[in-house]
């Protein structure tokens, strides 16, 4: 949610900032801007409604020569996306430029105070209030760092900020509370980024800012402090991924690349964590609290969006395999309903980004109430990963496409590993069962590969169905969350209305919508619910609905019922959500591209939602 880049060093800042913004664009893309301290030590800014590419095409490179600067790509919270509301925002005197990710909650009170002092505002943003507040303090303190510190101590809400000023042209001040920010420490240069993708092609050495911290950067180095002015020492850490992992590598879209990567990413999730001879799972990150997890009286899973769907699958898996009661909560609801947390409760927090504000707030609430917390997170070093009591990274690698794909299957895989770990310890699965599961897991990447290789078949079906205005997705048991996720994917990237339902619930409402224009995607595995699913298909056909069935390879019957059939390799029940999800990702992708939608940057969405 909003991307921030800053550069201070010896090189031309503009190009580095524009490149960084391009890589961070998945965080928001309604407007973008840069401010540079030029070689005459003047503060100059260019900002624009629209994408980073439009900013880059229109900016006068010669005018923007300088080696100190900041940039921003925005996902609007306060004020419509337009040139004026784009960041950087300035103070009234246009001496201070600031980029901000987050929300200043008390901006109205501060704005009134500043207006009473004679400050005039141009934009509708909360950020402009912060710039004028810094200006206000600068007038008495005559020191930028102190002015920023005083201002930050007066704001409520969340921020990741970077600020430059012609008052003190050789520095950048950065700070964070609730919105991620990191520093890439290069040789005689420092790059600021909302995440590592803006930094990785310059250096792998990074420092993560923690909440309540600020940093003064100059060409000679940096000084880390709290916003209460206490010095901090922090070790430099190394980023684990490479540049090529965040590039498209010849694919039309990041999303397509990420869908196709799943035979490998799924292996990265379980590699070194399962003994294939015995089926015993060891999750190093959870060792310190393993006993607490195994003896949990209840497990609460919390997450948002796609991660919440993975959580629903986790509920089925853990209850079936470990016999521990599980509840799954939307993170945004959990925090506000005064949840009951008892001794022995474990909270599992699932998040791709590790920065989702609602999920983070739910985690903090659960910790406050005494729950032991476990993180299943993708982004290494993210806030959630650092705040949980223990965690296991899902290792899906950087996910750039805004609609989650490979992170979902790796989240499900991580939940399977968690369930296997508990079941092995609790003996709720026999040694034989564990071995058989491990054996089947060995074949999973190959089966996913087969699904990926069938992508042209999915494209054909997508072309047939692309004009529909509504879709229904149905599944039962473990495949019900898969139906929800399939529907969400289609909605997110093609803007077609789609709903996911447990198949048997169709007759309690959605059936009223079915007519010849309504495709129904139904997950129809050959398991104990198969006959029931066939009855659901008959109910749809009786109302002239079109059926697309996701069916097992060995199902010879399904063609008699369905208009379109996608066949997936046979697998153990617990791996079915992973296998069945892959064609649904492709279906959404191909329908969206056929409709001319920008799948990597769907309208109104952002990859990392750092506001509540």
What is the number of other CB atoms lying within 10 angstroms of the CB of residue 38?
A: 19
Rounded to a whole number of angstroms, the minimum distance from the CB of residue 352 to ligand G6P is: 3
Using H for helix, E for strand and C for coil, what is the string for 527-566? Answer: CCCHHHHHHHHHHHHHCCCEEEEEEECCCCCHHHCCCEEE
Q: What is the four-CA torsion angle of 261, 267, 268, 274, rounded to 10 degrees?
A: 170
Ranked by CB distance to ligand G6P, the top (closest) residue is 305
Residues that bind ligand G6P (CB under 6 A): 304-307, 351-353, 356, 359, 402-404, 605, 607-609
d(CA 100, CA 422): 43
Nearer to ligand G6P, 89 or 608 (CB): 608
CB of 581 to ligand G6P, least distance (A): 13
Active site residue 163: no
Tell me the C-alpha distance between 183 and 174, whole Å. 9
Query: 352 or 414, CB closer to ligand G6P?
Result: 352
Q: Which is nearer to ligand G6P, 310 or 587 (CB)?
A: 310
Question: What torsion do the CA atoms of 178, 180, 185, 189 make, to the nearest 10 degrees?
Answer: -100
Would you say 95 and 135 are in contact if contact means Cβ atoms under 8 Å apart? Answer: yes
d(CA 85, CA 95): 17
Q: Are 473 and 451 in contact (CB under 8 A)?
A: no
Least distance (Å) between residue 331 CB and ligand G6P = 8
The conformation of residue 274, written as its DSSP 8-state character, comes to B
Residue 441 CB, shortest distance to ligand G6P, in Å, is 24
Residue 4 CB, nearest approach to ligand G6P (Å): 18
Dihedral sign, CA of 210, 215, 217, 223?
negative
Nearer to ligand G6P, 6 or 193 (CB): 193
Nearer to ligand G6P, 57 or 333 (CB): 333
At 513, is the secondary structure helix, strand, or coil? helix
DSSP string covering 125-189, please?
-HHHHHHHHHHHHHHHH--HHHHHHHHHTT--B-EEEEEEESSSTT-EEEEEEBS--EEEE-SS-
Quick check: 326 and 315 in contact, CB under 8 A? yes
CA distances from 148 to 11, 57, 324, 339 (A): 26, 33, 50, 38
Cβ atoms of 293 and 374 within 8 Å: the answer is yes
Asked if 607 is an active-site residue, the reply is: yes
Which of 350, 423 has the CB closer to ligand G6P?
350
Report the alpha-carbon angle 209-211-216, nearest 5: 45
In whole angstroms, how close is the CB of 63 to ligand G6P at the nearest point? 36
Q: Give the active site residue among 47, 257, 447, 607.
A: 607
User: Which entry of 2, 304, 451, 597 is annotated as an active-site residue?
Assistant: 2
- C-beta closer to ligand G6P: residue 305 or 577: 305
Biggest CA pair distance of the chain = 81
Q: Give min distance, CB of 251 to ligand G6P, in A.
A: 19
CB of 488 to ligand G6P, least distance (A): 8
How are beta strands 546-552 and 519-524 bridged, if at all?
Answer: parallel
Lookup: tokens for 370: 């005494």
Residue 28 vs 263, nearer CB to ligand G6P: 28
Contact status, residue 521 vs residue 471, Cβ threshold 8 Å? yes
Smallest gap from Cβ 104 to ligand G6P, in A, equals 22
Provide DSSP, 69-87: EEEEEE--SSS-SSTTTSS
State which residue, 388 or 402, has the beta carbon closest to ligand G6P. 402
Indicate which residues carry an active-site annotation. 2, 607
């Amino acid at each position: 949610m909003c991307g921030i880049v800053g550069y201070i060093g010896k090189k031309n800042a503009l190009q580095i900032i524009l490149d960084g913004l391009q890589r961070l664009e998945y965080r928001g893309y309604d407007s973008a801007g840069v401010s540079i301290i030029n070689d005459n030590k003047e503060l100059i800014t260019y900002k624009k409604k629209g994408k980073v590419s439009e900013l880059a095409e229109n900016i006068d490179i010669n005018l923007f020569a300088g080696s100190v600067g900041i940039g921003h790509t925005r996902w609007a919270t306060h004020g419509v996306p337009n040139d004026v509301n784009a960041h950087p925002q300035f103070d009234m005197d246009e001496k201070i430029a600031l980029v901000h990710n987050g929300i200043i909650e008390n901006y109205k009170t501060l704005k009134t105070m500043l207006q009473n002092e004679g400050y005039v505002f141009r934009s509708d943003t909360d950020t402009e209030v912060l710039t004028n507040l810094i200006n206000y303090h600068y007038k008495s303190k005559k020191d930028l760092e102190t002015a920023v510190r005083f201002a930050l101590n007066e704001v409520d809400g969340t921020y990741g900020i970077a600020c430059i000023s012609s008052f003190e042209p050789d520095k950048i001040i950065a700070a964070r509370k609730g919105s991620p920010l990191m520093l890439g420490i290069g040789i005689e240069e420092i790059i600021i980024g909302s995440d590592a993708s803006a930094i990785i092609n310059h250096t792998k050495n990074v420092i993560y800012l923690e909440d309540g911290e600020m940093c003064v950067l100059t060409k000679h180095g940096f000084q880390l402090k709290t916003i209460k002015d206490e010095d901090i020492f922090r070790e430099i850490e190394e980023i684990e991924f490479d540049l090529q992992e965040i590039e498209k590598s010849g694919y039309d879209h990041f999303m397509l690349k990420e869908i196709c990567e799943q035979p490998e990413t799924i292996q990265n999730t379980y590699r070194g964590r399962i003994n294939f001879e015995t089926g015993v799972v060891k999750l190093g990150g959870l060792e310190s609290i393993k006993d607490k997890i195994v003896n949990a009286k209840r497990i609460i899973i919390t997450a948002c969006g796609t991660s919440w769907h993975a959580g629903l699958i986790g509920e089925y898996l853990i209850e079936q395999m470990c016999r521990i009661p599980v509840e799954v909560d939307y993170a945004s609801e959990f925090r506000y309903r005064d949840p009951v947390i008892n001794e022995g409760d474990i909270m599992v927090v699932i998040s791709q980004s590790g920065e989702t504000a609602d999920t983070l707030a739910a985690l903090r609430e659960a910790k406050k109430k005494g729950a032991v917390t476990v993180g299943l997170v993708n982004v290494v070093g993210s806030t959630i990963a650092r705040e949980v009591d223990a965690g296991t990274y899902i290792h899906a690698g950087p996910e750039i496409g805004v609609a989650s794909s490979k992170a979902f299957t790796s989240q499900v895989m991580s939940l399977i590993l968690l369930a296997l770990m508990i079941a092995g310890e609790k003996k709720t699965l026999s040694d034989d069962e564990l071995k058989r599961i491990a054996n089947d897991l060995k074949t999973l990447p190959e089966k996913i590969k087969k699904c990926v290789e069938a992508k042209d078949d999915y494209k054909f079906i997508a072309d047939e169905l692309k004009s529909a205005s509504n879709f229904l997705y149905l599944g039962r048991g473990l495949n019900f969350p898969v139906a929800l996720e399939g529907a969400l994917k289609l909605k997110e990237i093609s803007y077609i209305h789609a709903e996911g339902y447990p198949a048997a619930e169709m007759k309690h409402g959605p059936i009223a919508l079915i007519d010849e224009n309504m495709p129904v995607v139904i997950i129809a595995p050959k398991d104990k619910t198969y006959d029931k699913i066939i009855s659901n298909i008959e109910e749809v056909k009786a109302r002239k609905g079109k059926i697309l069935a996701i069916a097992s390879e060995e199902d010879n019957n399904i063609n008699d019922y369905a208009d379109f059939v996608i066949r997936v390799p046979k697998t153990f029940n617990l791996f079915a959500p992973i296998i069945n999800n892959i064609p649904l990702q492709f279906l959404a992708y191909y329908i969206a591209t056929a409709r001319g939608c920008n799948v990597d940057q769907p309208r109104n969405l952002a990859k990392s939602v750092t506001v509540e």
